[in-house]
A and B are shown apart, each in its own frame.
Chain A
Amino acid sequence: MKLIHRNIDKDGKGEVTLMPDDPEDIWHAYNLISEGDSVKGSTIRKVQTETATGSSQSNRIRTTLTVCVVSTDFDTQACVLRLKGRNIAENPYVKMGAYHTLDLEPNRKFTLGKAHWDSVFLERVEMACDPTQNADLAAVVMQEGLAHVCLVTSSMTLVRAKIENTVPRKRKGNAAQHEKGLHRFYENVMQAILRHVNFDVVKCVLVASPGFVRDQFFEFMMQQALKTDNKQLLENKNKFLLLHSSSGFKHSLREVLSDPSVQSKLADTKAAGEVKVLDSFYSLLQNEPARAYYGLKHVEVAHQAQAVETLLITDTLFRSKDLTERKRCVALVDGVREYGGTVKIFSSLHPSGEQLDQLTGVAAILRYPMPEIEEEDHADDSD
């Protein structure tokens, strides 16, 4: 994302103009734009004109519209953000107050105006515009009969293909069917890689599995590449990295990302860093439960005692439609920073963020044990 123009006054009111470069920037935009914001962007609209004689004509016209956002819709697969809103600026073709849906696409600039830019938003803009933060990584997690082909960026994990094949088990005197099924499965995975992984962009392809599946698969793929003379695969052979994971399900990507050999390959370790923090939270919960709390209420109580050392929070909460809840979260983040704590904002598109989302979305590691929180709250817990 490129920041083209920025005009924010002291009390936080103002606008910025941004140019998204890649699909991930659309995700950032999705996190920035909330209901009630004004967005200006170029769009195509079908306009009906009526002549003096009464005959009507409809034209498609490219025009620049400013809408006040009513609802947002993000498609994770295509990485398109659709903003539905009402026109708030005068325009020769579109009446004031008329509804229009803006599509945000890469390489098309837009201007976003907000009544109040809080710290989390500003941080997000900064993060999105940091050019060092784009490391593209493809990952294949697999087990016999199940594979996920994912693209991992610093703030997103996109499942591009899920391959599910039934592989017959080995059986007395009939190992051939097993091997045949396995080859069919490998072939499917290979095709998915070829289709979804752009080797010009991707720096590294992780292949993770339990047992020997990854080795078998890699061997199979290279053999096939030699057979079919597939330059793309042969040239990028050294981009493949074989790792261990416990299963072929998506969440085992977490294990893969926490592998130290991956971290060195990743220019940006945000995804891996998230995994690490979450793991330490869990181990604390096991060993010293009075220092690890989750749930907004518990964490707020801890924060009031200035006890929060690390705050784990997902961006789902900042996209909340409920403005007061969002404010509450922003205040928490700001407060924790003020008292010298660190804040980790998890992307809900990563497996670790998904996990934290399930765990109410907020968790905190405390500086010192506070057993009283749990005791006092025993009666009124809500979920």
Chain B
Amino acid sequence: MARHRSVRGMNYDEEYEGYFDVYGHSVEEDYCGSPSMDQYMYDRSKQPDMSAFMQTVDDIAEEDHEVQDHGGAINYPLDPMEEGKLQSCLDELRSVVGESVSETILIKAIRDANFDIEDALKRVLDNSTSSSAAVSETAPLPQRERKHRDRNRKEKETDDPESKAVALEKVREEIQNMALSHGFPGAALKVVAAKTSKRSHGFDIPSPASDSTPSTPRPYDRLGAVSPASSTCSSRRDDSPGAEKIGTPEETPSPIRAKIKKKVNAQEEYQKERGNMKEKVNLVVIGHVDAGKSTLMGHLLYLNGQVNKKLMHKYEQESKKLGKQSFVYAWVLDETGEERSRGVTMDIGQSHFETEHKEVILLDAPGHKDFIPNMILGAAQADVAILVVDATRGEFETGFESGGQTREHALLVRSLGVSQMAVVVNKLDNEKWSQKRFEEVKKTLSQFLIKHVGFREADLQFLPCSGLTGVNLISRPEIEELRSWYTGPCLLEVIDRFQCPERPVSKPFRMPISDVFKSVGAGFCVAGRIETGFIQNGDKAMVMPQGESVLVKGLTLEDVARHSAFAGDQVVLTLSGIDMALVTMGSVLCDPANPIRVTTKVQARIVLFNIQLPVTKGFQALFHHQSLCEQAVIKRIICQLHKSTGEVVRERPRCLTKNTSGMVVIEIARPVCVELYKDAKELGRFMLRVGGSTVAAGMITEIL
């Protein structure tokens, strides 16, 4: 420290004699010594990405400081409190003078002025003009004396508001002078302006006349903001002894600004991170059991180069051994032994691949009736869907009749918010690529999908395929029978053409947990899709409904470690600070400052499907919401609504029968995390299921 102290006595102005000749450089580059700790601290704050953050901290310090400043007890070297003051003053000054004045000078001036911004500003400007003009005559005076002088000045100011206004006028003039007195003002100022962006605008308005004209509005022009206030409101300031007030009108709005900045940040960050990357789209593959979903997608992955030949060969050999050679491509996505030996997908299979313009996250849903809860989970995470139907005569019909899953899946994905869908008419090779059959299937399906499910015709795309033989997957078909009548795109092109939905990045962070598992290292992992907002590595988050706070220690996207993730991403987070047993599937990770609401009772608008039993009061059902599945009871039926117009058809009906719509109150057995539909669609939707069939889809209108 002794070394540092000796520096304080130094004549800075001498050191900086040639300073203004080297404008292009920053001060630090030339100046190698470390005069004081304060200076060191400022260095950090000058780093561009930190400055936004630092400022918000400073604001708080400034407020404290206002109250205490008049105590007058100032000790050198500085204590932490004063360091804070110093920082805030420095920021203020910087905003006025930009980078043109060295920070050592600023600090000195601030100290001399006893942390009085206005005073300090004046000193700085005095100083800089004189220093640039000739050799310094303002060698640092003994501290005691300066302090004394300072106190005098302060008293003078408080006694005489007139003189203060005059002083301010002087400041302004001085700035002007400084600009003019400079050897090459234009060029130098330009350099400064480029370096410090908006803040240096202060130099562009030298005269008070331009201040008063509203034709040059500069939102970040601090001096401009100060000057009219100080000149017109001098009478108002009479009662305040300190001159810090000058800072106050500016400081008050700054927290708000900081908040806005954060929001903008989310959007900006997103642009920055993802702007030059391919768009991400979550794709779910649905359809009746044995329609060939896994095989289709497995083959597509293989052809697209996601699965290496060696592995494929291994699968081929093994599936041959089991006598299930036709399942070879499905094995790419069906990984558990159970799924392979039974030849049925049971849980969502996840994979990803890239097309020309898109990065696709593939979710392979199980088609079997018993695994619809898993399928709902997958569909809830998806943006777009592929419906696979078996074109084989008889097979399509069974899949489509009331017992089949084609209908239910289509209804489910639509009510879970998927609006674009491709319909793959699979196994058309069994029908000898007959156009008649294709048209027949297309007609039946499009009628159902448009009329009953509510897809728009423009959002549907039908295409013939063969998953097993791989026709029309990644390239247009070469088979003559098909080429003769089909000229449309192949599957990969269709996927490439899907529109990406808008990502609600700037909303508060929400991520329903769909999986909890042990990680390799410390902590454990949760997986899920970020529905709204964004998260960064090292952020704090909150697990609801448990209400525990956790720390995000790691963040991976498709097995690649990342720094941040945004709404719409399927992400795996490594958490710490909570016991693994506490985190369950269906919990929601959220922003601790803005946690999601937890409730056991909701009011909702439900749309009933084609069901066997009517919904009455006391109806017990399973409440599927994102990855959560919980028992629920319908407590009350408020009214029956018209299905399309939403008008109340009947108040308090005894029951709701099939294909109707109504308002109900639902009580859920355990607390769940939900949002209103109008606030966040993804988290405001739910499904009601009873005995293996989906009864209704609902939207939460009120949390009770």
Contact = CB atoms under 8 A, between A and B. Distances in A.
A286 B618 contact: no
- The listed residue with most A CB atoms (<10 A of its CB), out of B342, B370, B619, B622, is B370
A170 B336 contact: yes
A360 B338 contact: no
Interface string A352-372: 001111111000000000000
A255 B584 contact: no
Contacts of B515: 168-169, 171
A358 B614 contact: no
A286 B614 contact: yes
Given A172-B351, A211-B371, A357-B618, A283 B613 contact: yes
B691 A216 contact: no
A178 interface: yes
Interface stretch (A25-33, A109-117, A122-130, A246-254): A246-254
B514 A169 contact: yes
B155 interface: no
B351 A249 contact: no
A359 B657 contact: no
A166 B516 CA distance: 7
A285 B617 contact: no
Interface in B645-704: 652, 654-655, 657-658, 689-693
B613 A282 contact: yes
B517 interface: yes
Contact of A283 (B338, B559, B612): B612
Contacts of B631: 249-251
- The listed residue with most B CB atoms (<10 A of its CB), out of A178, A244, A246, is A246
Interface in B611-643: 611-614, 616-620, 622, 629, 631, 633, 636
Contacts of A212: 338, 342, 346
Interface string A170-212: 1111110111010000000000000000000000000000111
B527 interface: yes
Interface in B65-105: none
Interface in A107-148: 143, 145
Contact of A177 (B518, B617, B622): B518
Nearest to A282: B613
Given A166-B584, A179-B337, A246-B370, A289 B622 contact: no
Contacts of B349: 170
Nearest to A181: B517
B692 A246 contact: yes
Interface size class of A (residues with CB under 8 A): 35 or more
Contacts of A282: 613-614, 616
B616 A210 contact: no
A289 B516 contact: no
B368 to A, nearest CB: 7
A253 B415 CA distance: 28
A347 to B, nearest CB: 16
Nearest to A293: B654
A381 interface: yes
A181 B351 CA distance: 22
A38 B505 CA distance: 69
Given A172-B351, A179-B337, A360 B618 contact: yes
A357 B616 CA distance: 12
B347 interface: yes
A294 interface: yes
A300 to B, nearest CB: 15
- The 7 tightest CB contacts between A and B, nearest first, are A358-B618, A246-B692, A210-B370, A168-B517, A359-B618, A211-B370, A282-B613
Given A181-B517, A210-B370, A211-B370, 13 more contacts: A168-B517, A169-B514, A169-B515, A169-B527, A171-B515, A178-B336, A178-B347, A246-B693, A247-B622, A255-B691, A293-B654, A294-B654, A354-B620
13 contacts: A166-B583, A170-B336, A171-B515, A171-B527, A177-B518, A210-B371, A244-B370, A285-B616, A286-B612, A286-B657, A286-B658, A294-B616, A383-B617
